[in-house]
A and B are shown apart, each in its own frame.
Chain A
Amino acid sequence: AQKVTQAQTEISVVEKEDVTLDCVYETRDTTYYLFWYKQPPSGELVFLIRRNSFDEQNEISGRYSWNFQKSTSSFNFTITASQVVDSAVYFCALSEARPGNQFYFGTGTSLTVIP
């Protein structure tokens, strides 16, 4: 069965602090893809990153970084030096390599950055 767990429901940090959002996934497939999306108050989901199961390299994009560890089935997301504009709900998602494009989303982590 496929499942994505985001145990942190809500997180509040003060501006400029670093924050890590946790994501744990379950799948029986050996080929799969992991994603992070941001949902600001406007409601539109914004794509942040895709990772395939064969690529465990960590990735950094500006203040954002992602840590993918197959051994612990985790795909964590860190925001460095958080800003007020980072306030949003963040979703982790899993997709398996089969036709139909079904994404399994976690329940999301609501991040509030306090100025």
Chain B
Amino acid sequence: KAGVTQTPRYLIKTRGQQVTLSCSPISGHRSVSWYQQTPGQGLQFLFEYFSETQRNKGNFPGRFSGRQFSNSRSEMNVSTLELGDSALYLCASSLALTGGSYNEQFFGPGTRLTVL
């Protein structure tokens, strides 16, 4: 079974631009979560989607948004990029059969975003 895939793997943008990252979950997984990983803040939860609905959102500004499509693929968008948005963005998928949070999350390789 193919794992979680994320595209692109690397991105370089300048301040003020916007960026869209893509995530394809493991086949059959309906929950997709996004995390930001930085050396200073560690792994921080951005949001989670289940069946095209955002069920949970972390403490990030509105510049960070996402969506999920009917095939469970997800995108996250960051508008008006700031230097502090430079990070590894990780996507994770899980079965979440009953909507609970106990299913282990399987992570993709991440997208390394650099904002200049």
Residues of A within 8 A of B (CB): 33, 35, 37, 42-47, 50, 52, 91, 95-108
A45 proximity list for chain B (CB < 8 A):
90, 92, 107
Known: A95-B101, A97-B100, A99-B101. Contact between A107 and B42, CB under 8 A?
yes
Q: Which residue of B lies closest to A44 (CB)?
A: B109
Specify which of A46, A102, A108 is in contact with B101 (CB 8 Å cutoff).
A102
Specify which of B33, B96, B100, B112 is in contact with A103 (CB 8 Å cutoff).
B33
A-B CB contacts (within 8 Å), total count: 76
Known: A99-B56, A101-B55, A101-B96. Contact between A47 and B106, CB under 8 A?
yes
Specify which of A42, A43, A99 is in contact with B55 (CB 8 Å cutoff).
A99
A100 and B48 contact, CB distance less than 8 A: yes
B110 and A44 contact, CB distance less than 8 A: yes
B33 proximity list for chain A (CB < 8 A):
101-103
Most chain B beta-carbon neighbours within 10 Å: one of A33, A47, A101, A108:
A101
Range of interface residues on chain B?
Answer: 20 to 34
A33 and B90 contact, CB distance less than 8 A: no
Tell me the B68-102 residues at the A interface (CB within 8 Å): 88, 90, 92, 94, 96, 99-102
- Main secondary structure on chain B at its contact with chain A? strand
Q: A50 to chain B: closest CB distance in Å?
A: 5
- Does any Cβ of A come within 8 Å of B105's Cβ? yes
A105 and B104 contact, CB distance less than 8 A: no
B48 proximity list for chain A (CB < 8 A):
100-102
B43 and A101 contact, CB distance less than 8 A: no
A105 to B50, CA, bound (A): 21
Q: Which 6 A-B pairs have the closest CB atoms?
A: A100-B56, A45-B107, A105-B43, A100-B55, A95-B101, A44-B109
A50 and B110 contact, CB distance less than 8 A: no
Q: Which residue of B lies closest to A35 (CB)?
A: B104
A98 and B101 contact, CB distance less than 8 A: yes
A99 to B56, CA, bound (A): 8
Q: Which residue of B lies closest to A48 (CB)?
A: B104
